[in-house]
Structure 1
Amino acid sequence: MSDIEKDNMLLNKVTSSSKGDKAYWSFKGRAKRQYCHALIQYPAMMVPAMQGELIDAVLEIDSNITSIIDPFVGSGTTLGEAMCRGLDFVGLDINPLSILACEVKSGPLYIEAFKEKCHILLEKVRSDIRVDVAVQITNIDKWFTKEVQLALSKIYRAIQSENSKWARKIFWLCMSNTVRTVCNSRGSTFKLHIKSIEQIGNTPNTLDVFTKNIEKTIVALCEQKKILSEMGSLNKSISKSKIKIIHTDTSKKIGKDIQCDLLVSSPPYGDNNTTVTYGQFSYLSLKWIDEKDIDNLKIKGLLETQNKIDSSSLGGSIKGASEKFELLKYKSSSLCNTVKAISAVNSENVKKLITFVFDLDLALDNALLTLRKNAYMIWTLGNRRISNIEVPLDKIMREILEHKGCVFIHQVEREILSKRMAIKNRIANTMDKELILMMRK
């Protein structure tokens, strides 16, 4: 079968799934996050069932697929769907919290042993009578009440005393979700923004929150083990998938030994500081996690300030914007038109767009190097606004990829229903749909 015939089969498969229903890909009522997808709170997570259905569509057309890569792995939605299908997986991200989440999702799934360890750990927390704070955080009294600091410290020490690293990792993820609930930063935005005095006064009991997170985690791990077993993707308590999680800036060169058959990913829709601040969202949680227990950390100093992760991500620096635009402008006419439109309103704002797309372009080069010839790509994208002008990231991505020799297959539009976008985040007010861009290398 020729590549063109495969492309047409994939196009027909995806379009026939919706049967003309424009709302089909919104997955209304089908967007629940279960099994490993329920393990972590994280911004802007993809809908697992949607990604799974798109992966299945490609698997029907290309039976030679054994591995998937996600160069912006985030909370690990694609990882979870790959594992359910017994596929090998490579995931990349710059955020240490993302790396931890993916390491936990990767297993092992020693459920009964973990339940025993939970009882022991909670007893250690309850019997800890120390009154010292276990971690150092700049402005700690701003972000945590004294009572919360002491309670989190007891949990921190108890986790550190656990002998098994695989269990400590799960506990650290429970700690992350707990910190998110009991800190003094508002949950309605991904940026660090102090709660009102009244809200701080209503902070729930830290140990109660942690205990509930452990209980939810056990349910999720049990579901994960059950589904992997049913799919024939489990060897005793370990996933059959070979999984590699890499801590890296995706705009930098990736190892040459990676060769995958399919790409499924959702890149940032713009620079973190003005779209989704993944770094600020993760900062307080990461300060309460022993980074020595995250195996694959390679980039140092990301927790020096609350903005460091975001400023180190795509488009984090606006230096050299004019020079970067000169290198980009022949790759995307849509980018040129958007730059012109924004410049007419605010010439400073255009720098954010140019430097983001420049870094994204480098990341795409690196991603393509990890794919075999004729591999399919599924990109979930969103078009943000700058100076109230829509940035057509779907068109920009398509044009840049076509400039690199890739082939356009199809594009699906879906309404955003439950993707985790904080209500008061500025991006949430300007985005109500996503675009799924399907390309072939």
Structure 2
Amino acid sequence: MTQKESELRQYDWTFQGANSREGVHSIHPYPAKFIPQIPHQLIEIYADSKSDVVFDPFCGSGTALVEAMKKGHSSIGVDVHPLACLISRVKTRPLPDDFGNRAREIITSVRNRYPGDVEPPDLPNIDHWFKKPIQQALTLIIDELEQVENQPTKEALQVALSSIIVRVSNQDSNTRYAAVEKDVTAEDVLQKFSQASSKIESAFKKNSEWRRNSATCDVLNENILEVEPSDIPQKVDLVITSPPYPNAYEYWLYHKYRMYWLGLADPTEVKENEIGARPHYQGSNPRDETDFEERMVSLFDLLRDITTEDATASFVVGRSVIQGEEVDNGKLLERAADAAGFYTADSASRSIPSNTKSFNPGYSKIKDEKILTFKKL
């Protein structure tokens, strides 16, 4: 792949005022993801042909995968979070023709059945986080979803339901894990599910011409540190990712009840494999920044084996606060890359827009992040 010197610095990576929630990027909340304009621009810079394959080892809700497919590139994503993989799968394939009708049938059926005779699942602290009528409405929707035979349709409906779970729960928000009083009813659950389903339909209809290209997408629900080169279905030309920063945002916690309700996984087990989760950096035997660096060395070892000789690996990474000290994760990444046989080919700084909310109060003074591109030595 060809690259101009310091090409990254020719662009304003802030994208102030850009719409980051257009089309399928809007169908499910997923805080701490990077905006689609970043992978879009990186693909513009580094892709030489439509045959170039894009890989995101921390794919989250599929932002880079979608942007790759929009440009005609096949893509591969890996994430330890089953919810992230569910959202990514739904975003990167066509919406089944029966989706809208099935959503409306489920809503009608639940209205007729409510309150029903199906017992809510035995979830931890369910009464603390969900009012009884909300539990019953969600239980009936889940029961209806279990009757959907077409897996892509079922998964798209699961994404619609997942997108509203925090709003109908007592959880304050997607970025604040605290119980608050909300004026929500069982009918609100059905209305919000209906709105979420309609939103998905609209999102897939808007700017959908890219879905007619030949690009494919593979999503693997795996711990990237345990992935073998043979697990990756084809050689990779572009790596575009934003790794989870140490001690920053806890994906497992804020999506906890989404995973519980959908039966995707035990969130506490997900936490154990989540790079960067705060509990790993607290308590009597906390990890430090060297742990993140070691994990990134393992990642670069994998990238060395699965990428083509001229491949580029672009990372968006910010700083962390660990035990009161600010840590430059960009420098840790550069050391990890060097240890695995990569060099820093280009870099740029990106200002974090002032309206971007920090999920951790200790990070509120951090105003920028780095974009780093690595190549094999």
TM-score over 0.5 for the alignment?
A: yes
Q: Deviations over 1:278-328 (max 9, x none)?
A: 01122101112144xxxxxxxxxx40xx43322222266999x9xxxxxxx
244-253 or 202-211: which moved more? Answer: 202-211
Matched, 1:244 2:232: no
Give the number of the structure whose alpha-carbon radius of gyration is greater. Answer: 1
Question: Match for 1:283 among 243, 256, 265?
Answer: 256
Alpha-carbon contact 1:43-1:420 (below 8 Å) kept: no
Question: Match for 2:360 among 412, 425, 432?
Answer: 425
Instruction: Kindly report the root-mean-square deviation, in angstroms, between the aligned alpha carbons of the 2 structures.
Output: 2.7
CA 1:348–1:157: 2 relative to 1, 3 Å: closer
Q: Which residue of 2 aligns with 1:74?
A: 60
Q: 1:201 offset after TM fit, Å?
A: 3.8
5 Å-filtered alignment, 1:12-161, equals 12=7, 14-16=8-10, 18=11, 24-59=12-47, 62-63=48-49, 65-110=51-96, 112-129=97-114, 130-161=116-147
Q: Deviations over 1:253-300 (max 9, x none)?
A: 324253211100000111xxx311101122101112144xxxxxxxxx
Q: Which residue of 1 aligns with 2:339?
A: 403
Inter-partner Cα distance in structure 2 for 1:44 and 1:157: 31
Question: Match for 1:186 among 156, 167, 172?
Answer: 172
5 Å-filtered alignment, 1:242-391, equals 242-256=216-230, 258=232, 259-270=235-246, 274-291=247-264, 302-303=265-266, 306-314=267-275, 351-391=287-327
Give the 3-state SS of the residue equivalent to 2:39 in structure 1.
helix
Matched, 1:166 2:152: yes
Q: 1:352 offset after TM fit, Å?
A: 3.2
Q: Deviations over 1:335-394 (max 9, x none)?
A: xxxxxxxxxxx9978733232322232122223322111200110101012233221111
Inter-partner Cα distance in structure 2 for 1:278 and 1:418: 23
Alpha-carbon contact 2:64-2:240 (below 8 Å) kept: yes
Give the 3-state SS of the residue equivalent to 1:413 in structure 2.
strand
CA 1:127–1:359: 2 relative to 1, 3 Å: same
Question: Match for 1:217 among 200, 204, 223?
Answer: 200
CA 1:171–1:419: 2 relative to 1, 3 Å: farther
Q: 1:209 offset after TM fit, Å?
A: 1.5
More strand by share: 2
Inter-partner Cα distance in structure 2 for 1:373 and 1:418: 39
Inter-partner Cα distance in structure 2 for 1:269 and 1:165: 33
Letter in 2 for 1:15: R
Inter-partner Cα distance in structure 2 for 1:178 and 1:317: 25
Inter-partner Cα distance in structure 2 for 1:354 and 1:44: 22
CA 1:38–1:440: 2 relative to 1, 3 Å: same
Q: 1:419 offset after TM fit, Å?
A: 9.1
Q: Deviations over 1:211-233 (max 9, x none)?
A: 1111211111112524x1xxxx5
TM-score by length of 1: 0.77
Alpha-carbon contact 1:42-1:420 (below 8 Å) kept: no
Matched, 1:11 2:6: yes
CA 1:78–1:426: 2 relative to 1, 3 Å: same
Q: 1:64 offset after TM fit, Å?
A: 7.3
Letter in 2 for 1:261: D
Q: Which residue of 2 aligns with 1:234?
A: 212
Letter in 1 for 2:274: S
CA 1:427–1:33: 2 relative to 1, 3 Å: farther
Inter-partner Cα distance in structure 2 for 1:172 and 1:355: 35
Give the 3-state SS of the residue equivalent to 1:410 in structure 2.
strand
Give the 3-state SS of the residue equivalent to 1:314 in structure 2.
coil
Inter-partner Cα distance in structure 2 for 1:71 and 1:410: 20
Inter-partner Cα distance in structure 1 for 2:153 and 2:16: 35
Alpha-carbon contact 1:131-1:150 (below 8 Å) kept: no
CA 1:64–1:178: 2 relative to 1, 3 Å: closer
Q: 1:122 offset after TM fit, Å?
A: 1.8
Q: 1:136 offset after TM fit, Å?
A: 2.3
Between the two proteins, what is the percent identity of the paired residues?
23
Letter in 2 for 1:248: E
Q: 1:128 offset after TM fit, Å?
A: 1.6
Q: Which residue of 2 aligns with 1:200?
A: 182
Inter-partner Cα distance in structure 2 for 1:81 and 1:28: 19
Alpha-carbon contact 1:315-1:352 (below 8 Å) kept: no
Inter-partner Cα distance in structure 2 for 1:162 and 1:347: 44
